[in-house]
Amino acid sequence: MARTDAIVLGAGIVGVSAALHLARRGLSVALVDRRAPGEETSYGNAGIIEGNTYFPYPFPLKPAALLKIIFKQAPEANYHLSHLPKLAPWLFSYLMHSRGPAMLDFAHRMRPLFANAVAEHEKLMQEAGAESYLRTNGWLKVYRSVRGLEDARRDLDVIAAAGIAFEPLDTDAALALEPDLAPVFERAVFWPGAASLSNPLAVTRAYAERFKKLGGVLLEGDARSLHRAGDKWRVDTDEGAVDAAAAVIALGPWAPDVLDPLGIRLPLLVKRGYHRHFKPAGNKGLSRPVLDAEVGYLVAPMEQGLRLTTGAEFADRDAPATPVQFDRLMPQARELFPLGAPVEPEPWLGRRPCFPDSMPVIGRAPGQPGLWLDYGHAHWGLTLGPVAGRLLAEMMTGETPFTDPKPYAAERFLP
Ligand SMILES: Cc1cc2nc3c(=O)[nH]c(=O)nc-3n(C[C@H](O)[C@H](O)[C@H](O)COP(=O)(O)OP(=O)(O)OC[C@H]3O[C@@H](n4cnc5c(N)ncnc54)[C@H](O)[C@@H]3O)c2cc1C
């Protein structure tokens, strides 16, 4: 490359979106990954662009639910005992951020990002010619019991007061939307404002192609080679060293591999999650993602089949896969959904990069001039990738940011 203004490290949905937003603003950008775009966490998510998100991902507070998790009976969560010493302080902080007034803080800080998430994707999809992957028919949460919905009522009232649209449904009304569900649930909530994708990998690839069309360069390299070279940042790639005045860390769960050696230690942990595709039974199917809310897993229609995604597994990022949640949930999943034979021999394992306050870090890296951060998008990286990329690009190019970026600064974790 003749001149590089910025290096973006990590070509998941977050890095690709940031690189694309920088290239749209006329910067010469090198996007560096050790794999092809979108092949890690951004490959296997449930495909929901959930701009309606209002509260952080819930921490189970009911004793019965907690005991089920502790005794490894819960479909929605699993943990590795060996991970507990590392997990405990993070979990305590997560608990504190997921209750009471902290939930409302999250809502106020994150609303500008979530509220713009679908529109930002739509803009990029149009440019990238990827609209065929987009469904704008919302998603559905089903509750096995009336009580299950009643338990969610207080949160729903706050969400309604914030002007976010949803429709509580009885079984028949939900079946009118998704006729191939079995009527083993009593209530549902339909979220019409959410969008979803039939192939998240294809969309990340399409954004990467658009980035290349705008002059961006995609290179293979190891982000851990990032170091200072004079007043620039340098990374080694298969095409040699690349230098730029600015570098962006968009490595999702792998960001600490580069940041820890630079002395930037932020409390990122991964919540692992699995998926497996199933052939639809007979000629049945789904037209939108559906969450089995009280059991704690989701099924989304994808090009590869019906993708069943699990909740959180607390384990070391690189520990071997332990997809035991499937054993716990498959009887109920087969009861509710038209699932045929599995498509792959083994489930896929992904890693959600999560801070304890459930918010990403977007902005300057503390104490490292020219270094920028865009990672930790937790359960909503697909949703937030484009809108976070826009905000970062606005900050990097000196434009007026569309929203105050202060809530997302890394400094919130520093003394
Ligand atoms: C089961 C599951 C379901 C989910 N469902 C949803 C959903 O419905 N909606 C939603 O919004 N979000 C969802 N998410 C979350 C979402 O998938 C993530 O937040 C998002 O993919 C994170 O994107 P990313 O670009 O930060 O990370 P990644 O996609 O993991 O990208 C990081 C990139 O860094 C690269 N990399 C790592 N180390 C190096 C290195 N040393 N050198 C070079 N490159 C390196 C990797 O190869 C990778 O390409 C889900 C996640 C899971 C696991």
Q: What is the pLDDT of residue 1?
A: 54
Atom of ligand 1 nearest to the CA of 272: 53
Ligand 1 and 276: CB distance under 6 A:
no
Atom of ligand 1 nearest to the CA of 223: 42
Atom of ligand 1 nearest to the CA of 376: 26
Please count the structural domains in the chain. 2
Instruction: Give yes or no: residues 382 and 346 share one domain.
Output: no
Q: What is the pLDDT of residue 61?
A: 80
Domain containing 372 equals 1-58+98-138+196-267+357-415
- Asked whether the predicted pLDDT for residue 2 surpasses 70, the reply is no
- Asked whether the predicted pLDDT for residue 214 surpasses 80, the reply is yes
| Closest Cα to atom 51 of ligand 1 | 45
Please report, for the domain that includes residue 162, its CATH number: 3.30.9.10
**Distance between first and last Cα of the chain:** 40
Whole-number Å distance between alpha carbons of 238 and 220: 6
Instruction: Give yes or no: residues 8 and 154 share one domain.
Output: no
pLDDT tens digit sequence for 232-251? 999 999 999 999 999 999 99
Domain boundary among 304, 327, 354: 354
- Asked whether the predicted pLDDT for residue 374 surpasses 80, the reply is yes
pLDDT tens digit sequence for 384-407? 999 999 999 999 999 999 999 999
Decide if 320 is inside a domain: yes
Decide if 92 is inside a domain: no
Please report, for the domain that includes residue 230, its CATH number: 3.50.50.60
Instruction: Give yes or no: residues 36 and 125 share one domain.
Output: yes
Whole-number Å distance between alpha carbons of 391 and 237: 27
Report residue 335's pLDDT band, with 50, 70 and 90 as the boundaries.
very high
Whole-number Å distance between alpha carbons of 38 and 47: 13
Ligand 1 and 258: CB distance under 6 A:
no
Mean of the per-residue pLDDT values for the chain?
Answer: 97
Instruction: Look at the pTM and tell me if it is higher than 0.95.
Output: yes
Decide if 230 is inside a domain: yes
Q: What is the pLDDT of residue 59?
A: 82
Instruction: Give yes or no: residues 340 and 213 share one domain.
Output: no
pLDDT tens digit sequence for 87-144? 999 999 999 999 889 999 999 999 999 999 999 999 999 999 999 999 999 999 999 9
Decide if 241 is inside a domain: yes
Decide if 63 is inside a domain: no
pLDDT tens digit sequence for 23-75? 999 999 999 999 999 999 999 999 999 999 999 988 888 888 889 999 999 99
